[in-house]
Structures are given as structure tokens and as C-alpha cells.
Amino acid sequence: MTVTRNSLRRAVRPFRESSDLKAVLICLFDIGLFCFALAAVVLASGLVLKLLAGLLMGLAIARLFVIGHDACHQAFFSNRTANRWIGRLVFLPSLTPYSLWEAGHNVSHHVYTNLKGHDFVWAPMSKTEYDAATPARRRLERIYRSGFGFWAYYGIEIWWRKMLFPSLDEVPVRRPAHFYDGLLVTVVGVIWVAALTMIGLSSGQSVPVLLLCGFLLPFFIWNLLMGAVIFFHHTNPDIVWYDDVDAWEASRNSASGTVRLTFPGRLGRLVNNIMEHPAHHLDVRIPLYQLEQAQQVLAELPSGALTQPLTWGFLRNCIHSCKLYDYTTQTWLDFDGVSTSTCLKDATPALN
């Protein structure tokens, strides 16, 4: 059976319809979860409870971000204005400037998925690039891809360099909204830290503990989750990356550039179904509360999308195998340049 990208999109199109009621309920729940966790950090009497509340805050930030991500695609609510302003609101806990995320994610990542030089998200270095890099940059790349450095990759390469007042080299085209959104999240961050400091001073609590549990730990957990999620979305020994636009363009006819990572039971809902990624790349207008059903339809078709159960064995193998990339043979390499995967030269690249 021959399946084209257009036929796959037609198959999942019925799931595009937004439900404002579901959107409002999910939004209220996740905002409430964030506020509850923040209150628990302030009100809990013991350090352990404060740390647990901080961990919960990190998860709540990630869940709110997924809502904002959908809103940025005009998928969460049926109304464009609601998507735009609610998206900005739910992006605030992750300190994400809405318009800059929209430019980088919707345009660069989704239009040019897995095309190096255009899609910047976890694009692997070639052995030549790695060898030519400075010792500090090589060490940083090793940290990023170690399995312990996902938080550093997202925090440095995405948030700091491309989101928070990026340079013209990173974002050549500027709009006034980029500056004002960056200013908005900066002000929110300052108020957040100042409020925790004032609460600590006025209540006799340790200010460092409040800042750790109510700001630094949640922001670290958020960066860790986001870095890991986008790594496993497009990094796999069977995933193809391209550095030649003609080769990439000639083969864009499936969903093989994305990975669906499945969790035991319904645990994928803990992160608002963000790992149902092939269906999302197939049609960005499918809201998070419809992705499971859309992905099920996609799974019944020869779409080329990879489905990978979450196991420790898989995580170790993927992290160990996917360090560098040979764009000529379409083969993953380790940092010594030794091949760690089979040749993917004839495989089909990412669906946009």
C-alpha cells in the first residue's frame, strides 16, 4: 500500500477540531497545579516537602508549556486571539517569549524538520565539525549528549541563545513583538525571584531555600524535561538527518523523521501527550487532547513513523549511539567517528 504525506494528513484531519471546553478545563487544571505547587513551596514546613513541591512545579511548567505550544500552532482554542494571549500566559512560568518561540519552532523546526542548517533542534554535528570545534565546544557537546546534559542543551542552545533577547546572528529577522515578549518574561522572572525573596525575609524562612525550591529547581526540571523530550523526538539510531536540501526535499513523503515514545499505561498524559509526536508533525493543528486518537489512526497505516517503548535499554542505546552523524552515508557515529548504526542512506526523511 502506497501512502503519501497528503493521504496521511487526510487520515488524521478529523482530529483537528478544537474544543474550547476541553481547552479551558485543561488550562485551569494546569494553572491550578502550578499555583498549588508554588504555594506548597512557600507553606511547607520541611525541606523535603519543599523540594517535592519544587519538582511538581517543574512538571507543571512543562505541562503549561505544552498548552502554549499548541496555542502557538493555533490548535488549542478555536479562537486565534485566545490562542495568542493564553499562549503568552501559559508560557510565562517557563520564561518563554511567545513570538520568538513561534518564529523558531513553527518556521524553522516544522518547515525544515531534520534538515541541518535550517532545523536547529538537536541537529547532530559531523565528525569534521566536531574535530574543528574548540576544545571547550567539544566538551560542551559531550555534556549535551551524555544523557545528563539535556537541561544544559535546552537552557543554553535554545532558551538563552534563541529565546531570551537573541543576537542578530541567531534571529536575523526582528519584530517589535520579539523585544516586548522578551521583556515580559524577564520582568516576570525578576518579580518571581523578588517575591520569593520578600516572602522569605518577611516570614523568617531561608531565602536561599525558597529560591532553590521555588525557582531554580523548577526551572532546572523544566529544562531537563524539555531537553530530553526534543532529543528523543528526533534522535534515534533509525532517524535520518540531512545536510543537503535537494536530497531532503526529494524524499519528504512519510513520518519517519519523528519518534513516538510510548510510556506504560497512560503516563504519557503526565506531559500532556507531547510524545505523540509523529501525529503532531503530520498536522500541527491537532490539539493535545486529540493526539492520542490521531496517533492511533496513524499507527494503523504504513506511515514510516517510529514507535519506541520507553525502556532503560532503549535510553542507554540511543544516548550511546547518537553522538555525531555522517551526512554522506546517513550513519550515526560515536565521538571517535566509529559507526554506531546501520546505513540510513535510502531511508525516508522527516515529515513536515
Give tens-digit pLDDT for 139-190.
Answer: 999 999 999 999 999 999 999 999 988 888 888 888 999 999 999 999 999 9
Pairing state of beta strands 331-333 and 324-326? antiparallel
Provide the 8-state DSSP code for 215.
I
- Evaluate if residue 95 carries a pLDDT over 50: yes
The Cα-based distances of 25 to 19, 21, 22, 267 in angstroms read 10, 6, 5, 19
- Evaluate if residue 225 carries a pLDDT over 60: yes
- Split at pLDDT 50, 70, 90, the class of 349 is very low
pLDDT at 304: 67
pLDDT at 352: 43
pLDDT at 348: 46
pLDDT at 56: 98
141 within some domain: yes
As given in the structure block, the three cell numbers for residue 156 are 543554553
pLDDT at 174: 84
344 within some domain: no
Tell me the average pLDDT across 1-26: 86
**Separation of alpha carbons 10 and 18, rounded Å:** 17
Tell me the average pLDDT across 333-339: 95
347 within some domain: no
pLDDT at 351: 44
- Evaluate if residue 290 carries a pLDDT over 90: yes
350 within some domain: no
As given in the structure block, the three cell numbers for residue 45 are 514546613
349 within some domain: no
- Split at pLDDT 50, 70, 90, the class of 300 is confident
- Evaluate if residue 303 carries a pLDDT over 70: no
- Asked if residue 257 lies in contact with residue 234, where contact means CB atoms within 8 angstroms, the answer is yes
pTM: 0.92
- Evaluate if residue 324 carries a pLDDT over 60: yes
pLDDT at 350: 42
> Would you list the DSSP string of 47-93?
HHHHHHHHHHHHHHHHHHHHHHHHHHTT-SSSSHHHHHHHHHHHHGG
Structural domain that includes position 80: 5-333
Number of domains in the chain: 1
pLDDT at 18: 92
342 within some domain: no
- Asked if residue 41 lies in contact with residue 61, where contact means CB atoms within 8 angstroms, the answer is no
- Split at pLDDT 50, 70, 90, the class of 345 is low
- Evaluate if residue 36 carries a pLDDT over 90: yes
270 within some domain: yes
339 within some domain: no
Tell me the average pLDDT across 287-297: 92
pLDDT at 258: 83
- Give residue-wise pLDDT tens across range 256-279: 578 888 888 778 888 999 998 888
**Separation of alpha carbons 293 and 197, rounded Å:** 45
pLDDT at 57: 98
pLDDT at 23: 96
Average pLDDT for the chain: 90
Buried b (16+ CB within 10 A) or exposed e, 189-224: beebbeebeebbeeeebeeebbbbbbbebbbbbbbb
Tell me the average pLDDT across 240-250: 86
Provide the 8-state DSSP code for 347.
S
Least confident of 40-44, 96-100, 235-239: 235-239
Tell me the average pLDDT across 319-334: 94
